Amino acid sequence: MKRIARIAGRPGCAAPPGVWLRLSALLLLLAGTSWALVAAQPPNVLLICVDDLRPELHCYGVDYIRTPNIDSLAAEGRGFRHQYVQAPTCGASRYTLLTGRYGGAGNGALFDRAKQIARQPDKVPPSMPAWFRQHGYVTVSVGKISHHPGGRGGPDWDDEAMPEMPGSWDRHLLPADLWQHPRGWMHGLANGEIRVNAKEMAVYQSVEGPDTIYPDGPNTAEALQQLEELGSGDGGKPFFLAFGILRPHLPFGAPARYLEPYRDLELPAIPHPQKPEGISTWHGSGEFMQYDRRGRDPREDAAFALEVRRHYAACVSFADAQVGAILKRLDSLGLRDSTIVVLWGDHGWHLGEHAIWGKHSLFEESLRSPLIVRYPGIPHPGVMTDAVVETLDVFPTLTDLAGLPAPDFAQGVSLRPWLETPDQAGHAAFSYQGNARTIRTATHRLVAHNNGQLELYDHRTVEAETRNLAASEPELTARLLKQLHDRLD
């Protein structure tokens, strides 16, 4: 493309007969070709993973949330309103993101895979970062990308002899800083407070100070430093940088300035706040309830529920600021036009819907999370798509956009069709946890429990996931159940 520009624009140089016709034809051909294939070198990848982030963002239609940086990313790329994760828990969801495959339902899924690699290294397909690494990329992880921040096992999650993802990263980093070690960082509050006994740790907190008084502050500083080093050329190779942001993970702690806009804000009523009757994947919100709540229960105390929601919103704005910092640095280094950016939430989070405060269910609120993709030349930037897609699709999408060989072992599909034409229909999404599995279509959700009980919900109705239609719509139930078995069995 640079050569074409030089020939066509040289002062005082008349083009020979037929050159303009040939140039025009070539430009038309290149216009329909993958951006990666015509770039001087393969594009960089910046993958931003945000923990426990439900799609309660301004760009997703939630007016009271302040997320200017994520909104800007969505305005320049493609947001997916109906992206579903494979599992409503960190480790299993990230397993699928990082391998492109269905996997275990628990947080130890990636460590189980690491044990398989140790036993039979030739039998385990490479991870997404390993695939990029094998095709000439420098791969760097900062923060929480796999389940353990920094990607290691051991009592404090810092044992280098126990990698969570062998052979995947050139550098896999977690600056524990004041929080002593990755385990302390994972559940840290202000100024180095780590979780020893959850019952003695506040479920939410807001302390005056800079971003660095909470775990995400030094983590973002490390990510910025890594981006500087990668942007300077690292051997002339393109980079795959994964940046994992902790908040809004429990406990909900963020600098006071992020809470200020929400401090006295009245929030919309919680939809469907009642505990479900009959069979469901409802649970008692154990992860949330283990923290110090001063004896209060958001299921019974509306004022406390409101405060929890405000602090969650503050954490979302705090996470948004970290997104803004990395995108601003990307621009200042002149890397915007050579980098694919993906923002992904590892699952949703209930804020009182179905009387749940947490994740770990197969309801919509646990399984739906944000997905935003931006790359130079994306058609129709800023147009959101309603297509149903799933986390399984991220790996083949990135290899497609980067012009790498397709990973034939990955079980998802490239999202390029929806990135280019956002108004087309999507495909069914499949998720699971230990005792049940589910299929989500554009209109319905079916949940199949291991004991044979079924839930069917119609998302075209106001009742949504509060009215079980399985008994009254047996034909649709049977059809969706067959799809679920065909896919996951």
Q: Report the distance separating Cα 142 and Cα 349, nearest Å.
A: 23
Q: Same structural domain for residues 337 and 217?
A: yes
Buried b (16+ CB within 10 A) or exposed e, 387-410: bbbbbbbbbbbbbbbbbbeebeeb
337/466 same-domain check: no
Beta bridge partners of 241: 46, 140
Instruction: Verify that 222 and 303 share a domain, yes or no.
Output: yes
Last residue of a domain, one of 389, 406, 427: 427
Q: Residue 14 pLDDT > 80, yes or no?
A: no
Does residue 33 fall inside a structural domain? no
pLDDT digits (tens, 9 = 90+) for 394-443: 999 999 999 999 999 999 999 999 999 999 999 999 999 999 999 999 99
- What domain count does the chain have? 2
Q: What is the pLDDT of residue 105?
A: 81
Claim to verify: residue 340 and residue 256 sit in the same structural domain? yes
CATH number at residue 302: 3.40.720.10
Tokens 């969650």 appear where?
312
- Which residues neighbour 362 within 8 Å (Cβ) at sequence distance 6 or greater? 88, 281, 431, 432, 433, 436, 437, 438, 447
475 and 452 in a single domain? The answer is yes
Helix (H, G, I), strand (E, B) or coil at 331: helix
Domain end position, chosen among 377, 408, 427: 427
Q: Over the chain, what is the mean pLDDT? A: 92
Asked if 333 and 475 sit in the same domain, the reply is: no
The CA distances from residue 217 to 255, 286, 434, 464, in Å, are 10, 28, 35, 39
Per residue in 170-188, pLDDT (tens digit) is 999 999 999 999 999 999 9
pTM of the model: 0.92
Contact 232, 338 (CB under 8 A): no
Q: What is the DSSP letter of 481?
A: H
Return the percentage of the chain with pLDDT > 90, whole number.
90
Catalytic residues: 90, 147
Is the pLDDT at 106 greater than 70, yes or no? yes
Q: Is 91 inside a domain boundary?
A: yes
Task: Give yes or no for residue 367 having a pLDDT over 60.
Answer: yes
Q: Among residues 427, 456, 479, which one ends one of the domains?
A: 427
pLDDT at 486 over 60: yes
If pLDDT is split at 50, 70 and 90, which confidence band does 1 have? very low
**CATH number of the domain residue 475 falls in:** 3.30.1120.10
Alpha-carbon distance of 457 to 408, in angstroms, equals 34
Report percent pLDDT > 70 for the chain.
91
Local confidence band at 39 (pLDDT 50, 70, 90 cut-offs): low
Give yes or no: residues 199 and 262 share one domain: yes
> Do 382 and 451 have their domain in common?
no
Q: Does the structure show a pLDDT above 50 at 25?
A: no
pLDDT digits (tens, 9 = 90+) for 283-342: 999 999 999 999 999 999 999 999 999 999 999 999 999 999 999 999 999 999 999 999
| Domain assignment present for 324 | yes
Is residue 28 over pLDDT 90? no
Sign of CA dihedral 220, 224, 227, 229: negative
For residue 436, the model assigns a pLDDT of 98
For residues 209 and 231, state if they share a domain: yes
Inside any domain, residue 351: yes
Backbone angles phi, psi at 49, to 5 degrees: -110, 130
The boundaries of the domain holding residue 470 are: 435-489
Give the model confidence (pLDDT) of 345-366 as tens digits: 999 999 999 999 999 999 999 9
Which pLDDT belongs to residue 334? 96
Give the pLDDT of residue 11. Answer: 31
Q: Are residues 247 and 205 in the same domain?
A: yes
Quote the pLDDT of residue 185. Answer: 98
Please indicate, yes or no, if residue 12 is contained in any of the structural domains: no
Asked if residues 439 and 427 have their Cβ atoms less than 8 Å apart, the reply is: no
Asked whether residue 97 falls in the same domain as residue 227, the answer is yes
Q: Stretch 62-73: mean pLDDT, rounded?
A: 97
Asked if 360 and 268 sit in the same domain, the reply is yes
The model's pLDDT over 205-243, given as tens digits with 9 standing for 90+, comes to 999 999 999 999 999 999 999 999 999 876 689 999 999
User: Does residue 274 lie in a domain region?
Assistant: yes
| 290 within a domain of the structure (yes/no) | yes
User: Which residue matches tokens 């495959």?
Assistant: 101
The one-letter amino acid code at 105 reads A
Domain annotation covers residue 249: yes
